[in-house]
Amino acid sequence: MAFDIMKLQNGSDVRGVALEGVEGENVNLTDPIAVKIGFAFVEWLSKKSGKAAGDLKIGVGRDSRLSGPALLNALACGITAAGAKVVNCNMATTPAMFMSIVFDQTKFDGSAMITASHLPFNRNGIKFFNADGGLEHEDITDILKIASKIDDNKASDLLGTGFKADGVFDLISIYAEYLKNKIKDGINGGEKPLSGLHIVVDSGNGASGFFVDKILAPLGADVSGSQFLEPDGTFPNHIPNPENKQAMEAIRSAVLNNKADLGLIFDTDVDRMSAVLSDGSEVNRDSIIAMISAILAPEYPGSTIITDSVTSDRLTYFLEEVLGLKHLCYMRGYKNVINKQKELNAAGTVAPLAMETSGHGALKDNFFLDDGAFLAVKLVIALAKAAKDGKKLDSLIEKLPPLVEEGEYRFKISGEDFKEYGNKVLEEFKARAKAAGYTMPQSYEGVRLSFKSEEVQGWILLRLSLHDPVMPLNIEGGRKGDLAKLVEIARKLTDGFERLDRSCLK
């Protein structure tokens, strides 16, 4: 039976297994399939743009994954076979590939980035862009439907003929120059505005090493102690993922050991980032959203910050009571928060930042693009300004209440029709919480409860996973001992659901 290419869709991306090496994971993102997808992208883009295939110019880049060069070659074969021109951007980043549509030097009609973000070495994927930004879920569905109709033999023949690139372009240098000028303009401190500052970067052997040698060092920063800058698709040091504890400990140690003013860490394709302050404090999840919001607040007073559903009540307090902003606690999924940001701004509500706790953050003044390097630029500018005023960067979030206790528990749902069952659980959970008199703030995803009494403080969020038979339960206690009390409340509210595995609540 032929492989169902539709199974490669993962939200608004293509994702699959590209290399052998992990037991039980068979390769399904093959070179011939990449040829089909490249061919289909041209057909889709031609229809979308109204341009003939022969008039389209498409940029293709990749991250440091081992399967990247072969997949880039295959994707480009499909693109040229469909009649479009291909520009090979080699090692790039996901945000840079979008900017290749914007930059005057390139002005591509579309672009593709071969990456699987932070996933293991054997995985890979493709992200696509056009003039409107990253493609949506339904766009990827359309492309894969077109690809599924292409004959296997034809794809193999096209792969064998190879492709001729319409040039090889050093996109990263153009992109780095763009970011470097943003820092210079933001600080207004001459050619070496970062002189006297010590900033270390952990690239996790992904594609972000350029941030050191093409941006920070030329601007005068001391970058000694920066680590894992060489691209290596085996990821020998740690997973390039700002949400990974080992990765965060690696950059934290680098900051402390080198007595740096700031540490920056990126994911593989550089659309996410987190930071570490000079004292070793990790700036991720709620705190990175708080930090970026504090930087933006003077420029956008009273504006709306959009986050995913698992952000804390502490963050809401900081955004609304300390910064005077509005907090829209929306849904999980970086495309969801970004699309909500676009919608609000189009309707006249100023929303300068949409950001997930994962580190995906999109700025209104950067094409609504989730760009980890651009967020890092904002932090570097803020660091330089703070230093000039005799302050530290952490002064921006000193009024953010600290995290005390938190837990995430994932309830597996047995049987078929997990979405229907999960929604019934949520309905009953909400009814029970209402009967108990618990406070329920507006929630766009699942059911959220807020507690601010003398007996217990904190919050609970129960939701249904978008794709998996799982109900994640997030809990945060406001004081020592509150987590256990909230877990007991959640236990009572979920009693009696036989298909819900709550053994993780022990």
Whole-Å CA distances, 156 to 153, 333, 386, 483:
5, 35, 57, 57
The partner residues of 328 in beta bridges, in order of sequence, read 306
Name the least confident of 147-161, 172-186, 224-238, 270-284.
147-161
* Positive or negative torsion for Cα 332, 299, 223, 278: negative
Query: Alpha-carbon distance 23 to 78, whole Å?
Result: 30
One-letter amino acid of 86: V
Average pLDDT, whole number, for the chain? 96
CATH class of 5-169: alpha beta
Going by pLDDT thresholds of 50, 70 and 90, the confidence category of residue 236 is very high
Residue 112 has pLDDT above 90, yes or no: yes
One-letter amino acid of 192: K
**pLDDT for the residue numbered 1:** 53
Whole-Å CA distances, 269 to 135, 233, 288, 373, 450:
17, 12, 19, 10, 36
Q: Which residues contact 23 (CB under 8 A, 6 or more apart)?
A: none
| Contact yes or no for 393/277 (Cβ under 8 A) | yes
Length of the chain (residues): 506
Tens digit of each residue's pLDDT (9 = 90 or more) over 4-41: 999 999 999 999 999 999 999 999 999 999 999 999 99
Query: Alpha-carbon distance 134 to 112, whole Å?
Result: 10
Does 5-169 match 173-397 in CATH topology?
Answer: yes
**CATH code for residues 405-505:** 3.30.310.50
**pLDDT for the residue numbered 157:** 84
Strands (E), 131-283: 133-134, 199-202, 262-266, 273-277, 282-283
| Contact yes or no for 115/266 (Cβ under 8 A) | no
Tens digit of each residue's pLDDT (9 = 90 or more) over 275-301: 999 999 999 999 999 999 999 999 999
**pLDDT for the residue numbered 156:** 85
Q: C-alpha angle 113/286/325, rounded to 5°? A: 100
Percent of the chain topping pLDDT 90: 93
**Highest mean pLDDT pick, 2-6, 269-273, 332-336:** 269-273
Task: Return the CATH superfamily for domain 173-397.
Answer: Alpha-D-Glucose-1,6-Bisphosphate, subunit A, domain 3 (3.40.120.10)
Give which of 336, 333, 8, 3 is closest to 141, Cα–Cα: 8
Q: Which residues contact 119 (CB under 8 A, 6 or more apart)?
A: 15, 125
Average pLDDT over residues 142-154: 94
* CB-side neighbour CA atoms (13 Å) of 114: 35
**pLDDT for the residue numbered 164:** 75
Residue 506 has pLDDT above 90, yes or no: no
Annotated domain spans of the chain: 5-169, 173-397, 405-505
Tens digit of each residue's pLDDT (9 = 90 or more) over 455-471: 999 999 999 997 789 99
Tens digit of each residue's pLDDT (9 = 90 or more) over 212-233: 999 999 999 999 999 999 999 9
Query: Alpha-carbon distance 208 to 265, whole Å?
Result: 9
Average pLDDT over residues 395-410: 96
Question: Residue 125, SS3?
Answer: strand
Query: Alpha-carbon distance 265 to 248, whole Å?
Result: 8
Going by pLDDT thresholds of 50, 70 and 90, the confidence category of residue 499 is very high
Going by pLDDT thresholds of 50, 70 and 90, the confidence category of residue 307 is very high
CB burial of 390-402 (b: ≥16 within 10 Å; e: otherwise) equals: eebbbebbeebee
The helix or strand, by DSSP H or E, that contains position 457, with its residue range, turns out to be strand 457-462
**pLDDT for the residue numbered 189:** 76
Tens digit of each residue's pLDDT (9 = 90 or more) over 422-432: 999 999 999 99
End-to-end CA distance of the chain: 44
